[in-house]
Amino acid sequence: MFFKRFFILILFLQFHQNISAQDDFYNVDSISEIRMYFYQQNWDHLLDSMYVAGQNDRILANININGDSYDSVGVRYKGFSSVSINNIKNPFNIKLDYVDNDQDHKGINKIKLSNVIQDPSFIREVLSYEIARNYMPASQANYTNLFINDTLWGLYVNVEAVNDKFTVDHFGSMDNPFFKCNPENLNIQIGGENSNLSNSHGTDSSDYYSYYDIESNYGWSNLYQLIDTLNNYSDSVYKLLNIDRVLWMHAFNYALINYDSYIGYSQNYYLFKQRSNEFSPILWDLNMSFGGFRLTDASQLYFNGFNIVQAQLMDPLIHYFTPFISNRPLITKLFQSARNRKMYLAHLRTIINENFLNQNYFARAQYIQNLIDTHVQADTNKFYTYNNFTTNLTNSVSLVASICPGISELMDARTNYLINYSGYSGAPSIDSVAPQNLVFGNDLYINTYVSSSNDVELYYRSGENMRFNKVPMFDDGNHNDGQANDGNFGCVITNCSNSLDYYIYAENDSAGVFSPQRAAYEFYSLSASIPQGSLVINEVMSNNKSVIADNSGKYDDWIELYNNSSTPISTKGLFFSDNLQNLSKWGLPNAVILAGDYFIIWADEDGHQGDNHANFQLSNLGEQLIISNNDLSVIDAEFIYPQQDDVAYGRSPNGIGMFAMLTPTFNANNTPSSTNNILQLKLITAFPNPFLEQLNVKTSQSFSIFNVLSEVMYNSNKSEVSINTIDWNPGVYFLKNKSDNQSLKLIKIN
């Protein structure tokens, strides 16, 4: 047991070292070095041929990343418009686990290198992702020098892939419906629909196969349901779509004139279905932001393109006023709501104020350019001159078929235009957000002072598997809000969970405002402890051979928790452990367990599969399991006995009974329909074990405790007692039932 726990500790430490290494790999301040050695001398001809044929096949290479070597990786070109068989410097998609499924670099199995085409400044993609990450999940990005067969190929942008690892990191799951919204054959004709979420392609999910690339094992019916609802029942789309996240995406794209996106050819984004059952968009391919892509916005006004001045003065609601040539329902349907338009403009205001009005973007751009300056000079395969690089931060540079605006040339004028745009200013002011103390199961009153508004709402949730609900806030003197019309708004949330995330939105005739301003990506949080026994360990399988597989198809250990209360319980801030000396061993994910409902923990040491996969495994020799509050007060604890193959150990009756060997009832009621479902009833529970100064015992009958010399340390005619053990010597003890002689090994520690 000691060696198993020691091995787990080593893996745990390695996992945290990998997380740190991943951060270093994408750290903007750190320029990586990647060396590729292709197996075939004609590698470029092979890659060119596969690109022309439209194949996604890969060729083999060995790779060295910052001194770490990997064999048999798969390489292909990346992207569409950035690839050309006439280019020397093409972008690369490198799959480290192409042959060896377990091969990765510090937890990263796919590397995407952009060739910085269409961007003389070299900073558009890195700077744009850095801004986006303040408001929504978005990739990390930095720079790497790529060598091919020991020849410097150039300075590339290293962009974090949007894949299973990304969705686990940002959404806590890897097996929900997941789509890349890029068509198989991009319709580059002006007005092409592509991945626009229009319902024009047909009434069956199969009609959309060529327009979206599924990244998950299932989900086509979910995608079509979203498309159908968005186009035909848009008032109900909030049930299927994270509207706030879409508004942030639109605000980002319009603020930075990122038109190689949903706005232009309706591509370059992902959709992932969160645990709250809402599809959330994820930005992708920002190499032509800041006006680097200006061929078309697919509208009737600018279908022939727009110039730099028109980009500077681009109306952020242009597509509410001016129709698209082809549908863009993710814009037009959502902007039909005046509330959504004001929320969108509030988000756009936040982006402009926090990055451009204060000139933070320019200082950051200068820093990044200074960091990569010598590497750009050394890149002999770059598409522009070094003078273009130094100039394009402030001034436009002529490209082959267009002009790439200077970043500050575009954004300073655009900022001045937007801060004077109707709906940018005149918003209410939200001050002094003041909740009462959160108490589990009680009602919670929240107050806030708001000026210049009579329309105030509070949005709240208790876990990431739930949508934000909204309740109105009142200034009528009847909602714990002081006097009527005093600017103090109040509301009540009944039967509160132990965790609450919330934010406030207020608007008037002119504009809207959020508190905090980055809501709903950021929010206020409250927490409280839950009482002992409200959340219980309900069923455990430490020898799962064939009963139920996890999302990767493995038959791993699992633990079932049960909400024994009448109040929803959030697992946020709670801890689970199999070690009495380390109650905070694993933090539970942020999820809500409804009253009378269940939550499954996979004890498999594989957090890469999702945040309900713990950092420990179960010992089938028996061990202690403990749930604790954030303050480490114990909520429930049970000693788990050895189990035969495919036999569970759980409470009977469900949630409240003694533990017994059961026929497994995964994520369901343990209470048997007949006594045949209970495999063994007369068992012993002792907690804690190992113990210090006190030992709690539950059995089905009277018992005795002996030391290793067979001396009686304690006798009881009761089935449930608490024993003071302060005077007992450290060592091994045995608890035995008097009638059936069942026994349990106990350990007293110093």
Classify residue 292 as left (phi > 0), alpha (psi -120 to 50) or beta.
alpha
Find the range with the poorest average confidence among 249-258, 369-378, 740-749.
740-749
| Cα–Cα distance, 284 to 105 (Å, whole number) | 22
Query: What's the rounded mean pLDDT across residues 108-118?
Result: 95
Q: Are residues 661 and 731 in the same domain?
A: no
Q: Per-residue confidence at 255, pLDDT binned at 50, 70, 90?
A: very high
Query: What's the rounded mean pLDDT across residues 413-428?
Result: 97
Based on the number of CB atoms within 10 Å of its own CB, is 418 exposed (0-12), middle (13-18) or buried (19 or more)? buried
Classify residue 699 as left (phi > 0), alpha (psi -120 to 50) or beta.
beta
673 occurs within a structural domain: yes
Q: Are residues 446 and 563 in the same domain?
A: no
CB atoms within 10 A of CB 374: 11
What pLDDT shows up at residue 16? 39
Cis, peptide link before residue 664, omega less than 30° from 0: no
CB atoms within 10 A of CB 202: 11
Q: Per-residue confidence at 297, pLDDT binned at 50, 70, 90?
A: low
Q: Are residues 329 and 464 in the same domain?
A: no
Q: What is the DSSP string of 113-132?
A: EE--TT-TTS-HHHHHHHHH
Q: What is the DSSP string of 195-227?
A: SS--STT-SSGGGGTTT-EE-SSS-HHHHHHHH
| Cα–Cα distance, 372 to 212 (Å, whole number) | 36
122 occurs within a structural domain: yes
Q: Are residues 501 and 554 in the same domain?
A: no
| DSSP for residue 354 | I
Residue 678: pLDDT over 70: no
| Cα–Cα distance, 279 to 285 (Å, whole number) | 19
Residue 190: pLDDT over 80: no
2 occurs within a structural domain: no
Q: Are residues 206 and 218 in the same domain?
A: yes
Query: The domain that contains 709 carries what CATH number?
Result: 2.60.40.2550
Residue 697 is encoded by which pair of tokens?
């015992």
Q: Per-residue confidence at 672, pLDDT binned at 50, 70, 90?
A: low
Handedness of CA 571, 572, 573, 575 (dihedral sign): positive
Q: What is the total residue count of the chain?
A: 750
Q: Across 2-11, 288-297, 559-568, which has the greatest mean pLDDT?
A: 559-568
| Cα–Cα distance, 202 to 346 (Å, whole number) | 36
Are 257 and 311 contacting, i.e. CB atoms less than 8 angstroms apart? yes
With a CB cutoff of 8 Å and minimum separation 6, the contacts of 145 are 31, 32, 33, 34, 152, 154, 155, 156, 375, 378
Q: Per-residue confidence at 304, pLDDT binned at 50, 70, 90?
A: confident
Q: Per-residue confidence at 681, pLDDT binned at 50, 70, 90?
A: very low
Query: What's the rounded mean pLDDT across residues 591-607?
Result: 93
Read off the pTM: 0.86
Helices (H), 559-612: none
Residue 699: pLDDT over 80: no
| Cα–Cα distance, 292 to 239 (Å, whole number) | 35
| DSSP for residue 722 | E
- Compute the C-alpha angle 121/123/127, nearest 5°: 145
Q: 3-state DSSP call for residue 36?
A: strand
Q: Which of 657 and 1 is assigned the larger pLDDT?
A: 657
What pLDDT shows up at residue 409? 97
Q: Are residues 457 and 535 in the same domain?
A: no
Residue 466 is encoded by which pair of tokens?
């739930």
| Cα–Cα distance, 593 to 182 (Å, whole number) | 36
| Cα–Cα distance, 179 to 303 (Å, whole number) | 28
Q: Are residues 610 and 725 in the same domain?
A: no
Q: Are residues 441 and 362 in the same domain?
A: no
Q: Which of 508 and 610 is assigned the larger pLDDT?
A: 508
Q: Per-residue confidence at 371, pLDDT binned at 50, 70, 90?
A: very high
Q: Per-residue confidence at 18, pLDDT binned at 50, 70, 90?
A: very low
Q: Mind listing the pLDDT tens digit for each residue in 130-151?
A: 999 999 999 999 999 999 999 9
Q: What is the DSSP string of 234-260?
A: GGGGGGTB-HHHHHHHHHHHHHTT--T
What pLDDT shows up at residue 140? 97
What pLDDT shows up at residue 326? 81
Q: Are residues 718 and 663 in the same domain?
A: no
Are 505 and 523 contacting, i.e. CB atoms less than 8 angstroms apart? no
Query: What's the rounded mean pLDDT across residues 520-530?
Result: 96
Are 80 and 288 contacting, i.e. CB atoms less than 8 angstroms apart? no
Residue type, 184: E
Residue 621: pLDDT over 70: yes
152 occurs within a structural domain: yes
543 occurs within a structural domain: yes
Are 243 and 226 contacting, i.e. CB atoms less than 8 angstroms apart? no
Residue 95: pLDDT over 90: yes
Find the range with the poorest average confidence among 86-95, 562-571, 725-734.
725-734
Domain count, the chain: 4
Find the range with the poorest average confidence among 77-81, 230-234, 674-678.
674-678
Q: Per-residue confidence at 9, pLDDT binned at 50, 70, 90?
A: very low
Q: Mind listing the pLDDT tens digit for each residue in 441-497?
A: 999 999 999 999 989 999 999 999 999 999 999 999 999 999 999 999 999 999 999
64-67: list long-range contacts, CB under 8 Å, 24+ apart: 64/34, 64/35, 64/37, 65/25, 65/32, 65/33, 65/34, 65/105, 65/111, 66/25, 66/32, 66/33, 66/34
- Compute the C-alpha angle 480/484/490, nearest 5°: 35
| Cα–Cα distance, 362 to 517 (Å, whole number) | 22
Find the range with the poorest average confidence among 530-544, 670-684, 685-699.
670-684
Query: What's the rounded mean pLDDT across residues 275-294?
Result: 92
Cross-strand bridge partners of residue 155: 145
Cis, peptide link before residue 653, omega less than 30° from 0: yes
Are 197 and 639 contacting, i.e. CB atoms less than 8 angstroms apart? no
Q: Which domain holds residue 631?
A: 529-681
Query: What's the rounded mean pLDDT across residues 530-553?
Result: 91
Cross-strand bridge partners of residue 490: 447, 474
Q: Per-residue confidence at 354, pLDDT binned at 50, 70, 90?
A: very high
Residue 674: pLDDT over 70: no
Q: 3-state DSSP call for residue 287?
A: coil
592 occurs within a structural domain: yes
What pLDDT shows up at residue 750? 66
Residue 7: pLDDT over 50: no
9 occurs within a structural domain: no
Residue 106's nearest CA partner among 11, 22, 13 is 22
Q: Are residues 262 and 357 in the same domain?
A: yes
Q: Are residues 607 and 729 in the same domain?
A: no
Query: The domain that contains 448 carries what CATH number?
Result: 2.60.40.10
Residue type, 501: D
Query: What's the rounded mean pLDDT across residues 658-677?
Result: 77
Residue 659: pLDDT over 90: no
| Cα–Cα distance, 606 to 608 (Å, whole number) | 5
Are 691 and 725 contacting, i.e. CB atoms less than 8 angstroms apart? yes
| Cα–Cα distance, 586 to 21 (Å, whole number) | 21
Residue 653: pLDDT over 60: yes
Last-in-domain residue among 491, 518, 545: 518
Last-in-domain residue among 393, 418, 443: 418
| Cα–Cα distance, 231 to 234 (Å, whole number) | 6
Are 541 and 535 contacting, i.e. CB atoms less than 8 angstroms apart? no
Q: Per-residue confidence at 188, pLDDT binned at 50, 70, 90?
A: low
Q: In the β-sheet with 712-716, what is the strand arrangement from edge to edge? A: 712-716, 703-707, 731-737, 743-748
442 occurs within a structural domain: yes
Cross-strand bridge partners of residue 64: 35, 69
Cross-strand bridge partners of residue 514: 505
Mean pLDDT of the chain: 89
Residue 176: pLDDT over 60: yes
Phi then psi dihedrals of residue 96, to 5 deg: -70, -30
Q: Mind listing the pLDDT tens digit for each residue in 605-619?
A: 888 888 899 999 998
Find the range with the poorest average confidence among 167-176, 484-493, 548-557.
548-557
Q: Are residues 451 and 403 in the same domain?
A: no
Find the range with the poorest average confidence among 271-275, 411-415, 554-558.
554-558
Residue 15: pLDDT over 70: no
Last-in-domain residue among 459, 487, 518: 518
| Cα–Cα distance, 448 to 490 (Å, whole number) | 7
Query: What's the rounded mean pLDDT across residues 198-226?
Result: 94
475-505 burial, b at 16+ Cβ within 10 Å, e below that, comes to beeebebeeeeebbbbbbbeebbbbbbbbbb
What pLDDT shows up at residue 23? 55
Residue 493 is encoded by which pair of tokens?
């949330």
- What percent of the chain shows pLDDT beyond 70? 92
